């Protein structure tokens, strides 16, 4: 998949089949739409081109910016779209100026001038241009003039996507990472740099890598212990991840994300880790002694290993 982030440095696309949206989560509803786009591109010997925006439009023109929680960072989304077989990802810088262009300018100066589309596949309720006055009917008026075809994504498909997105967020906010995985079609993940923590885990036999998630609007599941896959430098490891404020050993109440990677002993400070949530194991608890915490971590590891063993048997 080719990725472009500069509208002034785009190539000439071959029979481009466009679709446009945030595609946050790239869940199973999105994946069905993407498959349609890929199939359409194949049918006309063209290429699928997905247009998304950064920052998320709601961060620029939304009324409740602080409440926005994204399932994916831009890099995470790009990885998932590549797995879906998208040919080209174009990341358009979103601004108030972009949002305020007229519908005509959006069609002719943005879509046509930059992409020369053969097919534009958008939702039946897609709105564009200043005050969102442009719609699919208006776009269709330009089909003959600019030699493209508009393909409508049905009301039911759009509704399914909206419902899926809401269900994924609700599941994750409730710690139900298994349900989120089923809706997403893959485990929910996060990534971040490994930073130095209090380094207490190593003294009790459970060293942890503290993960700093740098995107301020990335959704973080509730506090507790999770069985997780950890990806580092093209290798995957089993592990258990903690989200919480470490009430047993720390009084500053600052939330941390730290992972104990099983059968792993490398210095990874400053490196990036990717974590995939597999199952919620338990909530956060304040223990009376460090020894009690250590004993519980032993039980947590055994519980996590049972989760991985069960999943392995399920796939056999």
Alpha carbon of 157 to those of 2, 33, 152, 154, 160: distances in Å? 27, 8, 10, 5, 5
Radius of gyration (C-alpha) of the chain in whole angstroms? 22
Instruction: List the end-to-end C-alpha distance of the chain, in Å, as a whole number.
Output: 32
Residue 234 · residue 284 · CB < 8 Å: no
Query: What structural domains and CATH numbers belong to the chain?
Result: 10-169 (3.40.50.620), 187-315 (2.40.30.30)
* Model pLDDT, residue 315: 59
Q: How many CA atoms lie within 13 A of 122 on its CB side?
A: 24
pLDDT per residue of the chain (316 residues) written in tens, 0 to 9: 999 999 999 999 999 999 999 999 999 989 999 999 999 999 999 999 999 999 988 888 876 655 788 999 999 999 999 999 999 999 999 999 999 999 999 999 999 999 999 999 998 888 898 888 899 999 999 999 999 999 998 888 888 887 788 899 999 999 999 999 999 999 999 999 999 877 776 677 788 999 999 899 999 999 999 999 999 998 999 999 999 987 767 666 688 999 999 999 899 999 999 999 999 999 988 888 888 888 999 999 999 999 999 988 765 4
What pLDDT is stored for residue 253 in this prediction?
A: 67
């Amino acid at each position: 998949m080719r990725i472009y982030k500069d509208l002034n440095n785009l190539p000439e696309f071959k029979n481009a089949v466009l679709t446009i949206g945030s595609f946050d989560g790239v869940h199973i509803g999105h994946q069905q739409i993407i498959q349609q786009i890929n199939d359409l591109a194949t049918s006309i010997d063209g290429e699928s081109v997905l247009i998304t925006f950064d920052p998320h439009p709601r961060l620029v023109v939304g009324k409740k910016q602080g409440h926005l929680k994204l399932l994916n960072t831009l890099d995470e989304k790009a990885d998932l779209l590549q797995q879906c077989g998208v040919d080209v990802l174009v990341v358009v810088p979103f601004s108030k100026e972009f949002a305020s262009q007229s519908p005509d300018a959006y069609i002719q100066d943005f879509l046509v001038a930059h992409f020369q589309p053969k097919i534009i596949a958008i939702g039946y309720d897609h709105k564009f241009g200043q005050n969102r006055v442009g719609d699919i009917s208006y776009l269709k008026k330009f089909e003959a003039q600019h030699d493209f075809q508009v393909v409508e994504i049905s009301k039911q498909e759009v509704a399914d996507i909206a419902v899926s997105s809401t269900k994924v967020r609700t599941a994750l906010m409730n710690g139900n990472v298994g349900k989120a995985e089923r809706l997403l079609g893959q485990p929910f993940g996060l990534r971040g740099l490994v930073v130095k923590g209090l380094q207490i885990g190593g003294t009790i036999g459970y060293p942890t890598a503290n993960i700093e998630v740098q995107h301020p609007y990335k959704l973080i599941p509730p506090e507790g212990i999770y069985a997780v896959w950890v990806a580092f430098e093209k290798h995957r490891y089993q592990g258990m991840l903690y989200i919480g404020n470490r009430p047993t050993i720390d009084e500053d109440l600052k939330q941390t994300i730290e992972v104990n990677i099983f059968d792993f002993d490398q210095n990874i400070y400053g490196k990036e880790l990717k974590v995939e949530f597999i199952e919620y194991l338990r909530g956060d608890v304040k223990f009376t002694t460090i020894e009690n915490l250590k004993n519980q971590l032993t039980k947590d590891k055994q519980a996590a290993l049972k989760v991985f063993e069960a999943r392995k048997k399920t796939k056999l």
